[in-house]
Amino acid sequence: MAGAGAGGRAGSVRSRTGRAVALARLLNRDCTRLLELYRERENFPPEMCLEKDRIVALSPSAPHLSANERVWLLHSALHQCLRLLERVIGWEDEQGFGEEGEYESMRSTVKDRLGHLLQSTKTLLVEGEGIAPLTPNPDNPEETDGLEKGGIFEAKLWTCRVLQELIHWTQSTAQTLHTMHSERDKERGKTTGRKGKRERGGIQS
Amino acid sequence: MDHCLLWALLLTSQVRVSQCQNGFQPPVPQRVRVEPDFVSQVLSIAWDKDLTYPVLFYDIEVLRTELGEIVYNYTIEVRADSAGRFHHWNWTSPIPLECTSHTVRVRSRQQQHTSDWSEQIVPGMDIPVNTGAKMYPQDRVVAVGSNTTFCCIVQERKEFKSFKYKTSILNSTRLSRRSYAGTVTNQPPSIPSGTNVVCLDDSNYYTGTVVFVGYPPGDRDLVCETRDLVSVECQWRIGQDTYLRGVQRQTHYTLNGKQCKLHNNLVKSSKKDKLQCQLSVTLDQGEINWTLGARNPLGTIQLTDKADINHRVRPHAPLEVYTANVYSRNASVHWRWGPNGYRTLPLECQAHVNSSENTYTFDYSGPGVSEALLKDLQPDEEYTVRIRCRTQQNTWKWGDWSLDYNFQTIKERPDALNIWVWMDSNQTGYVKWKPLSKSESHGQIVAYEVTYWNPEEDGRRTLSLPQTQHRAPLCPGDIGDCVITVTARNSAGTSPAASITIPRFSAGEVHTLYKVSGRNGGFDLFWPPYANTSCGYVVEWCPTGKQDCDVDWRKVPAGNASARIESGSFVAGVRYTFSIYACSSGAPELLERRQGYVVELAPAQHVSELKAQQYGSDVLLSWDEVPLDGRRGFICGYTVYTPNGSHLVPIENITDPNTRSYMVRHLSPGFYKFTVKAHTSGGQDGGVTVSLKLDPSTDWLVIEILVALGAMTGFLFLITIFCYTKRQWVKKTFYPEIPEPKLPEEWPTTPGTFGSRTLAVEPCPHNTVHIVENPERESDKFSPEVELEEEEGDGAGAGESPPDTDSSDPVVLRYYNQVVDDGSQGPRSADSSSSSSSDSSSTSLASTRTDVTYTGIQSAASSSGAPVQPEASDMGGYRPQMTPELASAEPQADSAGPADFPLLGDFGGYQPQITWRADSRPASTAPWAAPHPSAPPSSSSPTPPLRRAQIAYPPPPGFTTCCRANPDPPPSRRHHAVSFFGGDTGLFQLISVFNP
């Protein structure tokens, strides 16, 4: 297949980035809907659980980072989000909160698509460079587990924050990858233009 | 900082409050201890007994420390001989103990004397060292319908704003500086994730807690059994949903004290509302109690089932069911039990075999049964088999069904076809056979073979038809004694031959038709047994009158002379003809035919050709029968109606269905409508109407005339008889004998004063009245101008006047002469003599009276020739009213009276009814006159009945008055004649006045 790279990567980097962007956008919508369903179930007003502090404290938009580093940070953040989501799902199942409703269905969908997005971002990383994602900061107890610090109400608030993290990081992933995708398009255009000029010059010469 | 110091003091010291009292003071309770149970919100208060001074009463008070609000105050009595070294008292707080600090104080009481308080403080979570916001109780599990008080501790330097229970705002009560409480009553069940209760402060910071509202365990119906003979399985129904989920809140079970866990031995049964717990046991325990404990945060229940598990063996489902040998009509089925098996266990098993058409159940028994033989299967049939077993002894429950196993039996040749022949009146028809069902075909039919054989010609002809065709033409040529044989063929072979001998069809063959009624969607047919049948009967049916009928038939075994015919093709309201044939070695023999409807309906069509014909005053209605297709039932009769307004009134119900006419009798002329409706047992049709205008009959008119004439004749005859029998009365009444004038005996016959004088008969002079008609007046008004011409020498000169020769009064003249003649002739005929002799008494009377003779009124034409007297009798309505008898009854005094000339005297009932005088005349000049009978009535006086004219009347207008008197009459015999002549009508009236 054209564009198939090593490690089972299918398509060109550009197309993979495009697919990752689309998937990140789709997942972002899913996460938004998941949070809505959660608020409905818990009768949480919109102003509740609007924490500004991030559980996953990474900054892939730093200007000095390379594209690969940015992808790597996004991949790490999404990986932590998946871990947080799995923890939430496990905790809710343990508490017997699941009842096979729309929330539970959407929760499962988000988990699956988040795994796919992780896989997509992983394929964007240059082999040998930062494949292993960052692990959570052990100094941030919230980042490790916010479900055990208080009662069930606090755990619900923390669940709400995890869902917000998902929204944030899927949006960041979509935006960052989209920017990278656009930049690569520009670079490709420039490269194609110079190469064309050279080729045309060679012919002329 | 100040707060910290304050609370440090409160926590580290016991304060003894001195109470100044006069006299004795009980000892202060020592070593007061308060243990809070935050889950149950109970404060457990204990203090040491005072062994030296037994106290029987203690006061206990609980206060919210910060606000000093007393929330509990009670005096307890303790037993002096109670065991132990300290006293104990529990107090349950209505709010979570974490909400705020509580001060518990105890003092001893001796009647009215009390000791100082001994206090202990239980700090709440709102103390200043805890600066964060918090809600209590945390993650509490409560029962549905209960009340719960929540409290909210706001952050330091924040203000409480509101409580919310789900989406409802709660009323709040302040407990302390930072703590507020709100109570929820009658809580409904919560969702699995619990009900959130949140608290909001002035910075819109949310604090919250979760409460789980549910029910205690409601499990029931515990049943224990064994399936593998090495463990016990107990099942029970979950019952009421507890609404409590999660490891911490769900119901936990124990079986005989051992935990049943979901991941271990607690499983949900196949039925969703059941749970089961398995426990390894030995079966030699005999009958014991199996106890299930169910517990959740709201309660615990126990269920018990007492049983000997040896008697409660319910086998597992057989495994790996398969068929070892499959044939066309049987198959052997094998299965395997689980690892342990029931090799020695006596089992009773069921094999449930299901095909597309049938379902069978086979029973087998034996120790550890693991195979079965399935019999009576159909060839080429797909079957599904499943097995289950139970113990043969101490029968308990059937084990589970095994999984279904499918197999198919092998094919066989088809069964013989069921054929029949149908012939119509044109000696054409077909031979038909019924398609073989799956149970008869034993495999897919690939073709049919039809063989024609004529024994006379000994020739055979075979025709092969595809599987989709189920009829074949009859024998070619002469079909007499032709035999048709039909076979079906599948991949396994050819069916046995089915033959039929084509019967000779005789056109016009007449068979008695019987009616047969449908019942419950079919027909019950009975027929007399036919001795010569060898292979039973065939009942054939077809819609009556239908060309190219798709015949159906049913074969009835010999010995049965009846059949219940049912078919899905039967249609209500359609007549079917059933033909019953006797089956023999030769051609079928038709025994009889019947017709019937499976359900009779009201006719769909009405009678045809309805006509009405008049026969005098009768009307004959005639019609033709309802067409067969429209009858939809047997016609039971007809009903004749006539409309009455918007309704039809039945006038005749004809119960004979063969009747085609009806006579409506005795109708008077007029317009008539008749409606005829045919009816079946299903109802009536809509009816058809005919109208007729009934003309009057000529005979009737003649009869009417004859009757009228007869009646008239009879009436006249009766009148005649009456008049004849009463002729004397009639004569006296209507024609009284007019008395003749009588001459008195002293009538001078000798010459004397009068005797020498003869009666000179001269027409009396009369006054002439000239009628001057006023042409301006209307002709019908009777008001002529009268002009009287007085004769000169009135009275005295009368004798000198020439006789009136006016031709207009010859009658007067004649009559006058007649009267005179009569008087002069003396006694007349015998009649006169008799009357004179018989009226001798009246003679004197007459001599004193004035007799008046009416000559009536007659026209001038009629009066010209006829004598006056006879005509007077015909003048109806103008007759004398005084009978002689009445006259004779007059008192004699009248005659003896001085009225020697009573011209205007008493007439004895003959009085004029009006007095009419002409104003222009003196009464003495013409004091008499009678009104003309036809004179117009006056408005002031009606027309008087015509009686006797009064002499004093003047002549009516338009009449000429004629009066002649003897110029020398004796004073007592003056005669006056008055004649009225009608001006317009030409009538006149003559009134003679005799004055004796």
pLDDT tens digits, B787-804: 444 433 343 333 344 444
* Minimum distance, in Å, between the CA of residue B291 and any CA atom of chain A: 27
- In the structure, what pLDDT confidence band is assigned to residue B768 with cuts at 50, 70 and 90? low
Q: Which residue of B has its CA nearest to A96?
A: B246
Q: Which residue of B has its CA nearest to A49?
A: B206
- The mean of the pLDDT values for chain B is 76
SS3 B227: coil
The pLDDT, as a whole number, for residue B506 is: 56
CATH number of B319-408: 2.60.40.10
The pLDDT, as a whole number, for residue B765 is: 54
Say which residues have a Cβ less than 8 Å from residue B729's Cβ, sequence separation at least 6.
none
Pick among A149, A152, A161 to test the B interface (most B CBs inside 10 A) = A152
B588 vs B579: CA distance, rounded Å: 11
Angle, CA B161 vertex, CA B159 and CA B165 arms, to 5°: 135
Query: What are A62's two structure tokens?
Result: 């730093």
Query: What are B461's two structure tokens?
Result: 């002809």
CATH 2.60.40.10 applies to domain B608-696 = yes
Tell me which residues of chain A have a C-beta less than 8 Å from any C-beta of chain B: 41-44, 47-49, 92, 94-99, 151-153, 156-157
Say which residues have a Cβ less than 8 Å from residue B258's Cβ, sequence separation at least 6.
B279
* Minimum distance, in Å, between the CA of residue A159 and any CA atom of chain B: 12
The pLDDT, as a whole number, for residue B666 is: 85
Contact B70, B60 (CB under 8 A): no
For residue range B819-839, list pLDDT tens digits in order: 444 444 433 433 433 333 334
Q: Tokens 């509101």 sit at which residue?
A: B162
Q: Which residue of B has its CA nearest to A42?
A: B196
The pLDDT, as a whole number, for residue B877 is: 40
Name the residue facing A152 among B191, B194, B247 (closest C-beta).
Answer: B194
For B:112-131, CB contacts with A below 8 A are none
Q: Tokens 């409905």 sit at which residue?
A: A40
What are the φ/ψ torsions at residue B980 (nearest 5 degrees)? -105, 135
Chain A CB contacts of B249 under 8 Å are: 96
CATH number of B419-501: 2.60.40.10
- In the structure, what pLDDT confidence band is assigned to residue B432 with cuts at 50, 70 and 90? very high
Chain B CB contacts of A94 under 8 Å are: 246-247
For residue range A113-172, list pLDDT tens digits in order: 999 999 988 888 875 555 666 666 656 655 556 777 788 999 999 999 999 999 999 999
pLDDT at position B967 over 50: no
| Region for residue B632 given its phi and psi (left: phi exceeds 0; alpha: psi -120 to 50; beta: otherwise) | left
Topology at the third CATH level for domain B220-311: Immunoglobulin-like (2.60.40)
Which of the four CATH numbers 2.160.10.10, 2.170.120.12, 2.60.40.10, 3.60.15.10 does domain B513-597 have? 2.60.40.10
What are the φ/ψ torsions at residue B73 (nearest 5 degrees)? -150, 115
Characterize the bridge pairing of strands B346-354 and B382-391: antiparallel
- In the structure, what pLDDT confidence band is assigned to residue B85 with cuts at 50, 70 and 90? confident
For residue range B838-875, list pLDDT tens digits in order: 343 333 333 334 444 444 444 333 333 333 343 334 44
A191 vs A193: CA distance, rounded Å: 5
- Which residues are B275's β-sheet partners? B236, B268
pLDDT at position A42 over 80: yes
Chain A CB contacts of B191 under 8 Å are: 41, 99
Characterize the bridge pairing of strands B493-494 and B483-490: antiparallel
Rounded mean pLDDT of B332-349? Answer: 87
Say which residues have a Cβ less than 8 Å from residue A69's Cβ, sequence separation at least 6.
A60, A130
SS3 B594: strand
pLDDT at position B952 over 70: no
ipTM for this prediction: 0.86
pLDDT at position B947 over 60: no
Of the candidates B173, B1, B15, B12, the one whose C-alpha atom is nearest the C-alpha of residue B100 is B173
User: Which of B546-560, B680-694, B835-849 has the weakest average pLDDT?
Assistant: B835-849
* Helix spans in A43-151 (H): 67-95, 102-124, 141-144
Q: Evaluate the CA torsion angle B181, B182, B184, B189 in order and state its sign.
A: negative
Rounded mean pLDDT of B751-778? Answer: 51
Report, in angstroms and rounded to the nearest whole number, the Rg of chain B calculated over CA atoms: 72
Does B899 or B318 have the greater pLDDT score?
B318
Of the candidates B306, B326, B308, B334, the one whose C-alpha atom is nearest the C-alpha of residue B393 is B308
pLDDT at position B56 over 90: no
pLDDT at position B644 over 60: yes
User: Which of A179-183, B96-100, B450-454, B657-661 has the weakest average pLDDT?
Assistant: A179-183
CATH number of B22-122: 2.60.40.10
Chain B CB contacts of A48 under 8 Å are: 198, 206
pLDDT at position B166 over 80: yes
Chain B CB contacts of A147 under 8 Å are: none
SS3 B685: coil
How many pairs of residues across A and B have Cβ atoms under 8 Å apart? 58
- In the structure, what pLDDT confidence band is assigned to residue B58 with cuts at 50, 70 and 90? very high
The identity of residue B253, as a single letter, is: Y
Cα torsion at B349, B353, B359, B360 (round to 10°)?
-40
A96/B246 Cβ within 8 A: yes
The pLDDT, as a whole number, for residue A102 is: 93
Contact B763, B752 (CB under 8 A): no
Longest dimension (CA), chain A: 79
Rounded mean pLDDT of B12-32? Answer: 60
B527 vs A160: CA distance, rounded Å: 89
The pLDDT, as a whole number, for residue B5 is: 40
Cα torsion at B940, B945, B946, B950 (round to 10°)?
-50
The pLDDT, as a whole number, for residue A127 is: 58
What are the φ/ψ torsions at residue B21 (nearest 5 degrees)? -135, 155
Rounded mean pLDDT of B443-466? Answer: 87
* Helix spans in B765-829 (H): 810-825
Does B917 or B271 have the greater pLDDT score?
B271
For residue range B714-724, list pLDDT tens digits in order: 999 999 998 88
The pLDDT, as a whole number, for residue B549 is: 80
Proportion of chain B above pLDDT 90, given as a percent: 41
The pLDDT, as a whole number, for residue B36 is: 95
DSSP letters along B721-757, please? HHHHHTHHHHHHHHSPPPPPP---TT---SSSSSTT-
- The mean of the pLDDT values for chain A is 80
Residue B622 sits at the chain A interface (C-beta within 8 Å): no
CATH number of A11-184: 1.20.1250.10
SS3 B901: coil
B41 vs B142: CA distance, rounded Å: 13
**Where along chain A do its domains lie?**
11-184
Helix pair B830-838, B840-847: axis angle to 10 deg: 80
Contact B624, B648 (CB under 8 A): no
A44/B193 Cβ within 8 A: no
Characterize the bridge pairing of strands B86-92 and B102-110: unpaired
- In the structure, what pLDDT confidence band is assigned to residue B292 with cuts at 50, 70 and 90? very high
B411 vs B443: CA distance, rounded Å: 5
Of the candidates A141, A167, A151, A44, the one whose C-alpha atom is nearest the C-alpha of residue B206 is A44
B193/A95 Cβ within 8 A: yes
For residue range B93-136, list pLDDT tens digits in order: 999 999 999 999 999 988 888 899 999 999 999 999 999 999 99
A64-73, A195-204, B87-96, B504-513, range with greatest mean pLDDT: B87-96
> What CATH homologous superfamily does B134-214 map to?
Immunoglobulins (2.60.40.10)
The pLDDT, as a whole number, for residue B505 is: 63
Chain B CB contacts of A151 under 8 Å are: 138-139, 209-210
Query: What are B681's two structure tokens?
Result: 């047992």
* Minimum distance, in Å, between the CA of residue A147 and any CA atom of chain B: 14
Pick among A40, A43, A52, A100 to test the B interface (most B CBs inside 10 A) = A43
* Minimum distance, in Å, between the CA of residue B245 and any CA atom of chain A: 5
Q: Measured between alpha carbons, how far apart are the two ends of chain A, in Å?
A: 36
Characterize the bridge pairing of strands B688-694 and B670-680: antiparallel
